[in-house]
Every structure is written in C-alpha cells, then in structure tokens.
Structure 1
Amino acid sequence: MPNVPILTIVIVAYRSCDEIGPCLRSLPAMLAGQPIEIIVVDNSPDDGAGELVQREFPQVRYIATPENLGFGRANNLGLAHSDPHGRYVLFLNPDTVCTAAAFEHCVGRLQADATIGLISPRLVLADGSMDLACRRSIPTLWDGFCRASGLAAVFPRTPLFAGYNLSHLPIGGTYDVGAINGAFMLATRRVLQIVAPDGRVFDERFFMYGDDLDLCIRVGRAGFRIVYDGSVTVIHLKGVSVAKEYDQMSRAIFDANRDVYLKHFNPRGSRWVRGKFIVAFGLWKRVALLRARLAGRRTVRPV
C-alpha cells in the first residue's frame, strides 16, 4: 500500500505559534519512499498557531481542541485520528527542530530490533548543550536528592551521584536507559498497541508532566527496551512553555512525577510509602526551586 504512511508524527501544540513553523519545516515529507503523516493537536487554538499551520502546511492534519486537554489526552486524540496502518509513531514536541537523518536512523533501529520499545536520539538545547532529560534512569530517592541538591552537577562523571540523568555515560553512545523525554518518543505502533490496547497510550490522569515517565515504565514492564542513541541529534528548544507560566508549571513537574511514583511503586496503597514519596518529592521541589532562584534562573529542570 504505497499511500500508507511509514511514520505518524503527533505534535501537541500549546502557545506554540513561534515554534511550530520551524518544527514543521524541519520534518521530511517522505521516509524510505513512503509518506510521513503529520498531525497537530492544538491545545490553544486562539494563539495564531492554527492559522499558520493551515496556511503554510496544508499537508498537516490540524485538530483544534475546545479546551486545553493536556499533553497525554491530546496525544491520544492525535493518535486516534491517525492512519491505523502506519507502522511507526513519533510523539514530538513543537519546540524541536529535526532532521531526516535522525528519523532514518531511529526508524532503522526499530526495523532492525523488535526488542526496542521506545527510542530517542540525543536532544540538544539551543546553546549546544545536551538536554539531560533525553536519557534518564527510573530514579531512586537518592538519585532525586543528588539531582535536586546539585551533587549530580558537581560530580557528573561519578555514577554514585549521576544516576538520575546518567551523565557518567558517553553522550555519543547508544544504550538502554530507564526513560526518555516526551519531546521525542518513537515507537512501533505494535508496541503501543500492546502497552495500550484501548488506544490510550498516555495515562490521561497526568495533565502535562509525568506522562513520558509513566509510559516508559509501562513499556519497560511489558518487556521492551528503552533506548537512547546519541549518534544522531535533534534540537530541543526546551522550557518555552514552562517559562510562560513559571510558578505553576515548575511545581507541576515535581507533583506529576510524585504521582507517577505513587501509581507504580505503591500499588497496595501503603500509607507509609505514600507518605514517604509525598515528603521526598516535596523536599526535592523546595530545594530545586530555591537553588534555581538563588542562581537567578527562571526555569527549573528537575527532569
């Protein structure tokens, strides 16, 4: 079937009028001789992004939502409107700038190895540094403490302190990790159907943050590998949405990840375990926010 897309790209936009154009221009129309399907779900259709997409990118399927559905619910909506015969699915942030080479390489990895559940290239920030969140462990409370307190930044090459973002591992290498960033999550549709047979790939209880970590945990528990491949890169202009609603969103990051841990690591509803995670994440949030303010930053990067 020559018209069946080899790859479906779902992009959830929120106040992304400035970012969505460069992102869409960076996406190839074809891959391995087959078309690429692009779906944009716009959670803020009054900001002008919709007009830009429909005017300059008529090949893109544009879906305007009546309200902000959040990251996971909007991604699920986009996937539900995709061609079910497409073999690969990429959940992509609008603040990314991609290359055909990155797509070809990552799709090739999935074609060659059915054990890979999710894959991400190296994500690079606007200043050329690596987005540390594109390769993560499933962090322990110790890892979280090291990340929030700054020990991980002081000793980035020491595994004891660098377990959260795995900064002791080579950035140009490829290896299995616990989690990757929701800005670029590529999978086969088959894996997503196994993990989410009802079509709801992302848990819609998580409004904006935590969805990617939750999905990685579920994919891993289903027996598939989460792979970071640093041999190809994608630019991630990280923090654009967070900076626009700093106080609300920076706190939401910590609270969402706390809820992921309560979901997956307290299945019996133990009050002691629940209390432990609430206290630990609360302290983590306060320490990280304090460090960011003392450093004069307007963004917090706990993940």
Structure 2
Amino acid sequence: MLSIIIINFKSAELIYNCIQSIKNETAKINYEIIVVDNSHDEDGARLVTQKFPEVIWLNMGYNAGFARANNKGIQIAKGETILLLNPDTININNSIERTYLEFTASKYVACGVQLLNEDLSPQISGNFAMKGGLNYLLPLPYIGNLLKWIGAQLKVKKPNIPQATSLVEVDWINGAFLMVKKNIIEKAGLLDEDFFLYAEEAEWCGRLQKQGQLCIYGNCQIMHLQGETANDAFNSEGKGYYNLYDRKGLQIMVSNFVRIRKQFGLFWFFFDLLIYTFSIPVFFVVGFLHHIFVLQNPFKHFPKAAKFSSNIFYLWRLAPKILSNKPHFYKVL
C-alpha cells in the first residue's frame, strides 16, 4: 500500500486538482491520501473532503512547516511505502502508480521522478551532494557566476541533473516528489524537525542514503508548479533557490546553514558563512561597476544588496544557536 502525504498551507484548490489527477489514473494499486493542514483551513478541508471523503485530513493547529507536518503524516500512515508530494503537483501519464510498482520491486530505498514545469520543460529533480555544501555558494551574486565558470574550466561534475531520461542514481531528491520505503524510515529516522522549510529533504536523504541507494526514474514525470505555495506564504517572487533577497531568501539561507552544520560540521559552516559575508562588498562594488559598464544607474542594485546584507547579518545572529546543534525550530516566517 502507498501512503501519499500532502501538506496544505492555504493551497486547497491546488490539492483538489492534485488529488483529482491521482484519482483519474491510479487504479491498480492500493493507496491512501493524507493531507496535513498547516493553516487551519476549514473551507479548504470542506472543499477537499466533500469531493474526496476517503481523504484523511489532519490539522496541525499551527504552521509547522514541511518536516513536522510530513512526520505527522508518516506516523499515522498505513502504507509500507510513503510518498511526500507537493500540493502544486499534477500526476501525468499514471506516473505515481508506475513509480510505485517499479520502486517497490527495486533495491532502492528512496526515489524521485522527473519534475516538469507547466510548459513540460524539465526541472532539476535529482542532486549530488557537494563537500561542505559548496553548491550553496552558487546563488551568490557575482561570486556564484565566477565559481560556475571555474567549475566549467576544471570540468567539475555538476551538482544536479538538469534532466533525467532514464534511471539515475543520486545523493538527494527534490522534496516535491519523494517516495521512501517505510522500513528504511524506521532505520534512518524521520525528517529533522529543526527545519521549517527548505534543505530538510537534502539532510534527510543524507541519512536515508546510509541505508541504501537513491534514484530518479526519468521515465516517469510529474508536473510541478514550482514554488507557488511558498511564494504566497512569503510574499515572494521567483522560482528555485536563487532569490536570497527577501524573507523567502532568508529562510533558504537559514535552512541551508542548518543543514551544513548538521551534515558537514563546524569547519564548513564557518567557511561558507565567511564566503557569504565576503559577497556583501562584492555585490555592492562589482554591481556598481557592472551597471556603469552597461550604462545603467550604478545604484540600481543597492536596495537588493541591502536586503541581501540584512539576511546575512540575521544569519550571523543565529550562528551561535546553529553551532550549538541543540533542538530549535528555525522558522523565520
């Protein structure tokens, strides 16, 4: 049996469409759907459960984030296989059923699928762990582009798979679609509840990988309307993890550094934090020169750079708590 866990945060209409897409195609396997509500959405609960009365709807009572809400669902799940599924996903080409049948017969402990944008272009679905979390330096303004250029010259392996077309073994899987065998969760542990949002699936996959190999099934695809619910929650824009300039960016930074401390240790935490700090004057100065060179207002990027700096200073204030490695809920929303 497959237990599908979906987290709700004011996204009932997306969940309705997601569940309908599952119902339309999933006929050959037994499954249950558990919705864990982080927003006490009574109207959303009625919308979904009136149409799909078999859905289990759990109310967390507060915005518990990704890890805590999924853990609640896992703890009551009846299936021997768990699927963490984003609300902003659409099951296409019977991919959930096909993935479940292939995965449960395999040696793999966790798997993902090829995620697609609404226009069916590919999203990054599988990733490789880089020593010390160095991939988190890539979104930095100007420094990130320099590091990408150096990596290309040295032919360094990319930290992700732009598109999987067949089975590919990976180190961690995008949490929008993450299928795991329950007996492996019992050995590796649940998601780390210090995380509110972002990086928790990467840290979890690091522990899951100690029990066996992870993979992406490139022959199965799920449509993912990337970042829709998170952008609404944070009043943010943009997709992916390259926006480090607002509250969503702050949450991304904090979560990434919590993962670095937990998974890679003190040295890499300080190393990456110092690079982030050094990027502040680089952003101001190089940005100033760049805008002069392209005949634009040289102060155009200053508001963005100021917000970026503020986020890094906030991260420094949290550093002692992160370094202590004691339980703490790192939520900035």
- TM-score normalised to structure 1 length: 0.79
Is structure 2 residue 73 aligned with structure 1 residue 73?
no
Mapped contact 2:113–2:222 kept (Cα < 8 A)? yes
Task: Give structure 2 stretches of 5+ with no counterpart.
Answer: 237-245, 288-299, 302-333
User: Where do residues 1-303 of structure 1 align in structure 2 (5 Å cutoff)?
Assistant: 6-28=1-23, 33-46=28-41, 48-83=43-78, 86-99=79-92, 101-114=94-107, 116-132=108-124, 134-140=125-131, 142-146=134-138, 148=140, 149-150=144-145, 160=155, 163-167=158-162, 171-196=164-189, 201-222=190-211, 224-244=212-232, 245=234, 246=236, 247-266=246-265, 270=266, 272-280=267-275
Q: Aligned letter for 2:208?
A: V
Change (3 A) 1:87 1:142: closer
Residue 297 of structure 2 aligns with which residue?
none
Q: Aligned letter for 1:130?
A: P
Q: What is the Cα-based RMSD across aligned positions, in Å?
A: 3.1
How many Å apart are 1:102 and its aligned residue? Answer: 1.1
Mapped contact 2:66–2:196 kept (Cα < 8 A)? yes
Q: Distance in 1 between matches of 2:231 and 2:103?
A: 34
Q: Distance in 2 between matches of 1:74 and 1:215?
A: 15
Mapped contact 1:17–1:47 kept (Cα < 8 A)? no
Runs (4+) of structure 1 moved beyond 3 Å?
28-34, 140-148, 150-162, 280-288
Q: Aligned letter for 1:79?
A: I
How many Å apart are 1:162 and its aligned residue? Answer: 5.8
Task: Give structure 1 stretches of 5+ with no counterpart.
Answer: 1-5, 295-303
Q: Aligned letter for 2:260?
A: Y
How many Å apart are 1:33 and its aligned residue? Answer: 4.2
Mapped contact 2:28–2:97 kept (Cα < 8 A)? no
**Residue deviations 1:170-216 (CA, integer Å, cap 9, x gap):** 531221111111110001111111212xxxx1110001111100111
**Residue deviations 1:27-81 (CA, integer Å, cap 9, x gap):** 1389674421100001012373222112221110011221111111010111122
Structure 2 SS opposite 1:220: helix
Change (3 A) 1:25 1:142: same
How many Å apart are 1:277 and its aligned residue? Answer: 2.9
Q: Aligned letter for 1:219?
A: L
Pair member with larger Rg: 2
Q: Aligned letter for 1:241?
A: T
Residue 322 of structure 2 aligns with which residue?
none
Change (3 A) 1:51 1:283: farther
User: When the two structures are aligned, how many residues end up with a matched partner?
Assistant: 272
How many Å apart are 1:122 and its aligned residue? Answer: 0.2
Mapped contact 1:93–1:182 kept (Cα < 8 A)? yes
- TM-score normalised to structure 2 length: 0.72
Structure 2 SS opposite 1:51: helix
Q: Distance in 2 between matches of 1:213 and 1:98?
A: 23
Between the aligned residues of both structures, percent identity stands at 25
